[in-house]
């Protein structure tokens, strides 16, 4: 990503101040090495005001269960704190590791959409009652 595009992405999607939603940097303890970012973001992919769980991890930490751990925390926060009735996960249809993580979280495939900014995305969903 070019510097200008990265700065725009951070300003639009990262959490600043008192906001409870948006992306945040993930650091691995105890060294504090940055390994990615994650968070809950507003998502209108299905034409309603939903939230999307999201995580992007460095390849070097894949396969360690971090995505599942982060996803569980996001689901708990979205359902328990934000009182969401459902949460979405949007993923590139060719991203098998992310699809696997969403399915491990209990999310189910709903449909594929054409996102004007991100391209084709498979939409996964979980309802509050399914999660509990």
**Mean pLDDT by 10-residue block, N- to C-terminus, for the chain (132 residues)?**
61 63 80 85 92 90 90 94 95 94 97 88 96 84
pLDDT at position 112 is: 96
pLDDT at 17: 61
- Please give the Cα distance from 24 to 131 (Å, whole number): 24
- Strand order from edge to edge, sheet including 108-115: 22-28, 33-43, 50-57, 86-91, 119-127, 108-115
The pLDDT, as a whole number, for residue 8 is: 66
Question: In the chain, at which residue ranges do the beta strands (DSSP E only) sit?
Answer: 22-28, 33-43, 50-57, 86-91, 108-115, 119-127
Give pLDDT, residue 16: 57
Reported pTM:
0.83
């Amino acid at each position: 990503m070019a510097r200008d595009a990265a700065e725009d992405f951070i300003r639009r999607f990262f959490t600043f101040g008192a906001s409870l939603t948006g992306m945040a940097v993930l650091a691995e303890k105890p060294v504090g090495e940055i390994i990615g970012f994650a968070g809950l973001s507003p998502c209108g992919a299905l034409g309603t005001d939903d939230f999307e769980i999201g995580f992007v991890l460095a390849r070097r930490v894949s396969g360690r269960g971090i995505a599942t751990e982060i996803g569980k925390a996001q689901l708990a926060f979205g359902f328990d704190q934000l009182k969401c009735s459902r949460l979405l996960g949007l993923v590139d249809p060719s991203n098998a590791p992310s699809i696997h993580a969403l399915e491990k979280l209990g999310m189910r495939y709903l449909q594929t959409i054409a996102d004007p900014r991100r391209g084709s995305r498979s939409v996964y969903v979980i309802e509050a009652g399914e999660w509990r």
